[in-house]
């Protein structure tokens, strides 16, 4: 008897992902307030409008001086001729005087050095400065950070806290970003109930809803709930059609395998097309990708770990690419196995593992892993990739994807 993973035409992960990404395009942009832009993807490069800093700036609290006024072999006492706090406008430094200055204040013309107050002695209106002062110390010169016209961030980058701060430091108030994707999230299965209801025999809680909602939000999507779908072809068609009309992408979990109660694929075929079904990975084999009307369709397996893994490896890169990002694949670490496997698998396998940082990076597999239990994910640092047909031995080199690269 032929197992599904022996089926000719079942794609490997890289091929499946490349095919899916071929269908991803982000075109719609909008301009939003900077304060609303966290997590959005830049639609055009961020370019400096002016030099940073815009003026020579004191980097320490102390005294601004012209180093030529100091004795080279013994301390020098100078009168204090002005006081400059951040926000003040300086006047030219009087010859053979010092200016009291605070961090962030503009340097007075004529000064070339700031001496930290810890190295100075103040008596009334005079200050005694040491002999060994490094000329130019404790000053950030105009343009030292970057110059007007320099590129600060390329387009297609996701805006993080530091992008926002940098943009604001250049006076940016509104910023051009790609539109967020709206995603209709549907969980399929007669056995599913939402937390808050008592479980009847045979029922399970709809955990995928919460996992997927969080994962979708993490990659910047706006989630429209459609909720639980019964295992029924007619209802599946109605709900999927409605979902596709109201969202850019329809994400489902469950009902994509081969059983008679798995109606999602048949419903998508009836309403649009399934472009890809089944990927040679474990867990997550029955993943499906297609279209319903103008909406993309991502069909994830129902088993909670299969659902998580296929989201991270297949759905997420597509959703990020559709929102304008160009680096959408998770970065990997090359690690050494601190475990053995009993026998090779026909599928590329992804398992939760603990990263051990010693002289070399090693990973240890967590016990009791299957497609249904999320518990080992909680204890792991990421997913280790065990290539198909490989029996792993101690010390073998493998790829490891930290969770922060996957979600
Ligand atoms: N004869 C075969 N049977 C199965 C195959 C196969 O190739 N031949 N593939 C297996 C694999 S691999 C997977 S993965 C599962 C996936 O099947 P479905 O995507 O159709 O998922 P369901 O059958 O609906 O559910 C599977 C499992 O997951 C639980 N589940 C579903 N949705 C949720 C949810 N929202 N929250 C929590 N748990 C959920 C469900 O109760 C089932 O236990 O198919 C294998 N079968
Ligand atoms: O691919 Mo299924 O996800 O092995 O259990």
Confidence of residue 9 (pLDDT cuts 50, 70, 90): low
| pLDDT tens-digit series, residues 216-268 | 999 999 999 877 999 899 999 999 999 999 999 999 999 998 878 789 999 99
pLDDT for residue 260: 82
Cβ neighbour number for residue 78 with a 10 Å cutoff: 20
Mean pLDDT computed over 201-205: 97
Ranges of beta strands (E only) in 145-264 are 151-153, 174-178, 182-188, 192-193, 204-205, 222-229, 249-253
- Domains belonging to the chain, first-starting first, are 4-28+179-321 (3.40.980.10), 31-52+145-178 (3.90.105.10), 57-140 (2.170.190.11), 333-406 (2.40.340.10)
Mean pLDDT computed over 331-350: 97
Mean pLDDT computed over 114-129: 98
Distance separating alpha carbons of residues 237 and 243, to the nearest angstrom: 10
pLDDT for residue 1: 39
pLDDT for residue 343: 94
* DSSP state, residue 321: H
Distance separating alpha carbons of residues 28 and 45, to the nearest angstrom: 16
User: Is 211 a pocket residue for ligand 1 (Cβ < 6 Å)?
Assistant: no
Kindly give the pairing relationship between strand 281-282 and strand 348-357: parallel
pLDDT for residue 258: 85
- Residue 351: pLDDT above 80? yes
**pLDDT-above-70 percentage for the chain:** 98
- Average pLDDT of the chain, as a whole number: 95
Helices (H), 148-220: 161-169, 207-218
Distance 368 CA to ligand 2 centre (A): 15
Mean pLDDT computed over 194-222: 96
Using most ligand atoms within 8 A of CB, pick from 256, 286, 313 the residue to mutate for ligand 1. Answer: 286
pLDDT for residue 153: 97
pLDDT for residue 227: 78
Mean pLDDT computed over 384-388: 98
User: Is 301 a pocket residue for ligand 2 (Cβ < 6 Å)?
Assistant: yes
| pLDDT tens-digit series, residues 134-189 | 999 999 999 999 999 999 999 999 999 999 999 999 999 999 999 999 999 999 99
* Torsion of the alpha carbons at 29, 30, 34 and 35, rounded to the nearest 10: -110
- Is the CB of residue 373 less than 8 Å from the CB of residue 320? no
pLDDT for residue 3: 44
Distance 395 CA to ligand 2 centre (A): 27
pLDDT for residue 8: 60
Helices (H), 311-359: 316-322
Q: Report the SS3 class of residue 168.
A: helix
């Amino acid at each position: 008897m032929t197992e599904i993973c022996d089926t000719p035409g079942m794609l490997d992960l890289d091929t499946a992902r490349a095919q899916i990404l071929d269908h991803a395009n982000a075109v719609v942009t909008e301009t939003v307030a900077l304060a609303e832009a966290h997590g959005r993807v830049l639609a055009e490069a961020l370019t400096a409008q002016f030099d940073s800093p815009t003026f020579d700036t004191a980097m320490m609290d102390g005294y601004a001086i012209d180093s030529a006024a100091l004795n080279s072999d013994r301390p020098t006492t100078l009168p204090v001729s002005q006081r400059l706090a951040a926000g003040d406008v300086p006047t030219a430094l009087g010859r053979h005087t010092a200016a009291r200055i605070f961090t962030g204040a503009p340097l007075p013309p004529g000064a070339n050095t700031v001496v930290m107050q810890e190295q100075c002695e103040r008596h009334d209106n005079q200050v005694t400065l040491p002999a060994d002062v490094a000329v130019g110390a404790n000053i950030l010169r105009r343009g030292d950070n970057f110059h007007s016209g320099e590129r600060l961030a390329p387009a297609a980058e996701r805006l993080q806290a530091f992008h926002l701060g940098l943009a604001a430091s250049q006076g940016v108030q509104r910023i051009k970003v790609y539109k967020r994707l709206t995603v209709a999230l549907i969980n399929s299965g007669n056995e599913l109930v939402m937390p808050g209801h008592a479980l009847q025999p045979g029922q399970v809680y709809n955990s995928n809803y919460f996992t997927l909602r969080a994962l979708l939000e993490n990659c910047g999507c706006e989630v429209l709930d459609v909720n639980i779908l019964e295992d029924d072809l007619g209802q599946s068609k109605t709900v999927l059609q409605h979902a596709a009309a109201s969202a850019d992408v329809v994400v489902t979990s469950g009902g994509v395998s081969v059983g008679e109660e798995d109606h999602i694929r048949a419903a998508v075929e009836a309403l649009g097309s399934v472009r890809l079904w089944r990927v040679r990975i474990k867990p997550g084999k029955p993943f499906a990708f297609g279209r319903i009307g103008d909406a993309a369709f991502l069909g994830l397996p129902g088993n909670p770990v299969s659902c998580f893994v296929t989201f991270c490896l297949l759905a997420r890169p597509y959703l990020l690419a559709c929102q304008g990002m160009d680096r959408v694949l998770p970065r990997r670490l090359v690690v050494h196995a601190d475990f053995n496997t009993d026998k090779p698998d026909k599928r590329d396998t992804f398992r939760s593992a603990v990263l051990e940082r010693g002289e070399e990076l090693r990973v240890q597999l967590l016990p009791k892993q299957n497609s249904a239990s999320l518990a080992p994910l909680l204890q792991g640092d990421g997913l280790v990739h065990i290539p198909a047909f490989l029996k792993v031995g101690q010390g073998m080199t493998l790829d490891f994807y930290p969770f922060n690269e996957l979600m």
